[in-house]
Amino acid sequence: MSGTCVYSAALVLGIAATILFLVVRVKKGGLPGVITKATASVLFIATACAAIVMNLQEYAYGLLIVLGLVCGLLGDIWLDLKYVYPQDNDTYLYAGFYSFFTGHLFFITAIFLSYKWTPWTMAISVIAALIGAAGATLMEKPMKLSYGKFRATCFIYGFILMLTASSSVVAAFATGETAWIVMSAGGVLFLLSDLVLSGTYFGEGKNTPAYVVANHVLYYAAQFVIASSILFVGN
């Protein structure tokens, strides 16, 4: 079977698994929700692996992306386990934060090693990320959120999340290359997903089916798009 067939199959199965997960998560949740979510997440990793096979000359970038996606899978499991074992909510929430934080470090490393940065483009990326993270923290009250003891963690994670988006967007504008346009789309989708997620975790009355569906549609779109960026790097 060719790499194209494997990539296409993983992508289609991933979309189907995401839809199944959303149905299970909204209607039932619990351990079945964790299992179906993990299945969907395994498939964005499979999509990335297939993309590497199709673009072997950029295997270093692809490997870093895969490692970031594996961290995403772990984060997905930790965050949903807090609904299965609510007495350990904080433990699983911190584990989820750290997993996604590490995942974004892999994404950022992939971007920074694959694009020829200048002091100006790097400064713009970092400053934009700092402003975004600070803005999200300062908007806590206007957005009717309560970060509580997670405020510092949210700021640090917010910065690294913003840096994934800002660095890929800067690379896209600087080069116009398809790889960075695709990666920036993934980064922005991830950012939007976590903005919705912050409402469900830290806002009152926002953990509703509509928020859950919006969060996960944006999230899985982000991960599959980031996985697909491997196809275009170096081309």
109 vs 172: CA distance, rounded Å: 16
How many residues comprise the chain? 235
DSSP string for 30-45 = HHHHHHHHHHHHHHHH
User: Above 90 in pLDDT, residue 102?
Assistant: yes
Domain extent at residue 82:
3-231
Look up the pTM and report it.
0.93
What pLDDT was estimated at residue 130? 96
Which residues 6+ apart lie within 8 Å of 176 measured at CB?
none
What pLDDT was estimated at residue 29? 75
Calculate mean pLDDT across residues 175-204: 91
List phi, psi (to 5°) of 143.
Answer: -85, 5
Question: pLDDT tens, 127-175?
Answer: 999 999 998 888 878 777 788 888 888 899 999 999 999 999 999 999 8
Q: What's the total number of domains in the chain?
A: 1
User: Above 80 in pLDDT, residue 107?
Assistant: yes
Structure tokens at 219: 């999230």
Question: pLDDT tens, 1-49?
Answer: 566 888 999 999 999 999 999 999 888 878 888 999 999 999 999 999 9
Q: Which of left, alpha, beta for 189 (phi over 0: left; psi -120 to 50: alpha)?
A: alpha
The partner residues of 145 in beta bridges, in order of sequence, read 203
235 vs 228: CA distance, rounded Å: 13
In contact, 35 and 77? CB cutoff 8 Å: no
Question: pLDDT tens, 62-84?
Answer: 999 999 999 999 999 998 888 88
204 vs 200: CA distance, rounded Å: 8
